[in-house]
Copies of this chain bind each other. A is one copy, B any other.
Amino acid sequence: MDIIKPRTLSGFMELLPPAQIRFERMVEILRTTYASYGFAPLDTPAIEDAQILLAKGGGETEKQIYRFQKGDSDLALRFDLTVPLAKYVALHCNDLAFPFRRFQISKVYRGERAQRGRFREFYQADIDIIGDGKLDILNEAEIPAIICKIFRAFGLTRFQVRVNNRKILSGFYAMLDLAEKSGDIMRTVDKLDKIGPDKVKTILLEDCGLTGDQADEILKFIAIRGSNAEVIAALEGYAGKNELFDQGVAELKAVTGNLAAFGVAEENFAVDLTIARGLDYYTGTVYETTLLDHPEIGSVCSGGRYDNLAGYYIEKQLPGVGISIGLTRLFYVLDEQGLLNPALPSSPADALVLPMTDSPAAAIALAEQLRCAGLRVQLYGEQKKFKQKMAYANKLGVPFAVLLGEDEIAEGKCSVKNMTTGEQVKLAPDEAAEYMKNHLNAGNCPIILE
C-alpha cells in the first residue's frame, strides 16, 4: 500500500494527551462558571450561509473567511461567535426569554497568515446578555466578576480586568469640540502603551490636526490614574459639561460600585481611560483583560456593551453586553509559560489496575468498584512482563498503579502503588479509593482555592 505522509495543517492546534487534558480543564472551568451564572449553553453550526455571515461585509473578514460552494450553496465557516449569535437571536427571538444569556465555547476559523501563537482554527469562549429594547447596567457589572472568577480558577492571580466607558470618551471629545475626530483620536490614544505620550501628542497635532491645548487636555485626561475611587473622583471634576459624559461616569460608577458584593478582588480590576475597543460596535462599557507579567500579549479577554446586536437581520432593537476569551491562544501562552497549574496531574486516568492473575474477573470488578467511587480507572489487560506494565504506567503518567494478585484477592485487598513516591500499601478496595482520592484532592486544591 502507498503511504501518505501524515501531517496536521499549519495554524491548526492538535495537542498530545497531557496538554489536551490541561486544555479540557480550562474548558470545564469555563463551562461550569458560565453555567453557574445562568447562561444557557449554545451550539450553532460551524457552517453558515456566506451571505448571512458577511452581512456586515468589509475588509479583513472577507479576506480571511473560509468560503466555498457545495452544490448551489454559497457557504462559509464562522469567523467569530457574535455573528452566529445575532442570527440565532433574530431567527428565534419569539422563543427566547429576554434578557437572553448564552455562553458558547466553539471553534472559529480565520485564514490568517500562520505564525507562532496564531491559529487559523481556534476556540472562542463567549458570554453575552441580550435585552429586548432595554438592558440594565447591572449586567455590565456582573461580567468582570465572572471573568475574575474564571481566571482565578485557571490558577492565575496576576491579571487585571480593565474597564472604561465609551460615553465618557465620546463626551469628553465633544467637550473639546472634537466629536467628529473622536474616531481618529481614540485610535491614536489606543497606541499610548506602545509608543508613549510624546509620539501620541505628535500624531494628535500633525495627523489629527488638533491644537496644542486640545492635545494637552487629552494627554492630561488619559493620564488619570489611581484607585477606582480616585479615577472616578477625577472624572467628576469634568461633570456638568456634557450629558453623554455624565451618563458614562454614572454607568462606570454603577459598574465599579458593586464589585465587592460581586466578589471581585481589588487588585484584579481597574478603571483605565485609555481603553476604547471596536469603534463601530461598542457604545458603553468596554473591557480588556491583561496578564500583568505578560503585557506583551495584549488583551486576552475583551468585550463591552453594544446597542444593537442583530440590526442586519431584524428590525427589533437588541442591546447587549458580552465578552470573549480567545481560548486557544490563551491556552498556548499559559501552557508554554507553565502557568496552568503544572503540578496538577494530566494523565487520562487516576489509577491503572493491573491484573496479576490468569483470570481478569477480580480485576474487572475492582476497577468498576473504584470507578463507582469517582475515580478514573484504566484496566490494563495486555499480557506483558511486570516491568513493561510499570513502564506503561510511567509513560501514561498515571498517579497510581493498583496491583491485584492471588495474595491480594485471598485477603480481599489490593496493592496501591504511588507512582511518584514508589510507596506501596495494601488496602481493601473502599479504603484504596479513599486513599487515592485524598491524594488526588490534595493535588487539586490550588485550582479550587486560588
Is A313 a contact of B20 with CB atoms below 8 Å?
no
Whether A107 is near chain B, meaning CB under 8 Å from some CB there, is yes
Whether A92 is near chain B, meaning CB under 8 Å from some CB there, is yes
Contacts of A314 in B (CB 8 A): 3, 6
- A176 to B: closest C-beta gap in Å: 31
Enumerate A330-373 residues with CB–CB distance to B below 8 Å.
Answer: 348-349, 352, 360-362, 364-365, 368, 371
A45 with B12, Cβ < 8 A, contacts A5-B313, A101-B348, A381-B139 known? yes
Q: Which of B67, B91, B263 contacts A368 (CB under 8 A)?
A: B263
Is A142 a contact of B379 with CB atoms below 8 Å?
yes
Contacts of A306 in B (CB 8 A): none
Given known contacts A14-B88, A142-B381, A261-B365, what 10 new A-B pairs fall within 8 Å (CB)?
A: A7-B91, A9-B73, A16-B92, A16-B96, A20-B40, A24-B41, A37-B371, A138-B379, A261-B361, A262-B368
- Fill in one digit per residue for A32-74: 1 if any B CB lies within 8 Å of its CB, else 0: 0001111111111111110110010000000000111111010
Contacts of A352 in B (CB 8 A): 38
Residue of B nearest to A32 (CB): B376
Whether A87 is near chain B, meaning CB under 8 Å from some CB there, is yes
Q: Give how many A residues have a beta carbon under 8 Å from the other chain's beta carbons.
A: 101
- A211 to B: closest C-beta gap in Å: 36
Whether A21 is near chain B, meaning CB under 8 Å from some CB there, is yes
User: What separation, in Å, do the CA atoms of A308 and B73 have in the docked complex?
Assistant: 37
Is A383 a contact of B4 with CB atoms below 8 Å?
no
Residue of B nearest to A378 (CB): B38
Q: What are 21 inter-chain pairs, A to B, with CB distance below 8 A?
A: A1-B311, A2-B312, A4-B51, A6-B310, A7-B49, A9-B49, A14-B43, A14-B44, A14-B45, A16-B96, A17-B41, A20-B42, A24-B41, A36-B377, A37-B377, A37-B378, A46-B121, A138-B360, A138-B381, A258-B364, A261-B360
Is A21 a contact of B8 with CB atoms below 8 Å?
no
Whether A220 is near chain B, meaning CB under 8 Å from some CB there, is no
Is A315 a contact of B23 with CB atoms below 8 Å?
no
Enumerate A371-391 residues with CB–CB distance to B below 8 Å.
Answer: 371, 375-379, 381-383
